[in-house]
Amino acid sequence: MQHIIPITILRRGQVSERTSLSGTTIDELVRRDLFPQPVPLTKRTKGWVEAEVDDWLRHRRELRDMNDPRLLAVDRILNADLSRPTAA
């Protein structure tokens, strides 16, 4: 018999609350493939797999603990992009 592990889906507000990231930052990270991709739930609704978000946070913590420069490189990329004015 196969054991089925339940999957918990987080909505955007829950992801923002869990990560302390704004929706704009989450979107940019997803666009750059630096954050877990959302799962389409309906035509207009998406969510994130809780375990994938938790893994992403664990990985960030590991980078921090190792003083890995990739942690700051991602932040520099995001801060530079998010400070640019968007095209009208």
CATH of the domain at 34: 1.10.1660
Residue 43 within any structural domain of the chain: yes
Residue 58 within any structural domain of the chain: yes
Dihedral Cα 86, 25, 29, 83, nearest 10 deg: 40
- Looking at residue 28, its amino acid is E
pTM for the predicted model, two decimal places: 0.79
pLDDT digits (tens, 9 = 90+) for 57-79: 999 999 889 988 877 777 776 77
Helix (H, G, I), strand (E, B) or coil at 81: helix
Number of domains in the chain: 1
Query: CB 20: neighbour CB atoms within 10 A?
Result: 8
The first and second tokens of residue 87, run together, are 């095209």
Give the rounded percent of residues in the chain with a pLDDT score beyond 90.
60
Residue 2 within any structural domain of the chain: no
Is pLDDT at 6 greater than 80 in this prediction? yes
Residue 3 within any structural domain of the chain: no
Residue 33 within any structural domain of the chain: yes
Which residues constitute the domain of residue 20? Answer: 9-83
Residue 88 within any structural domain of the chain: no
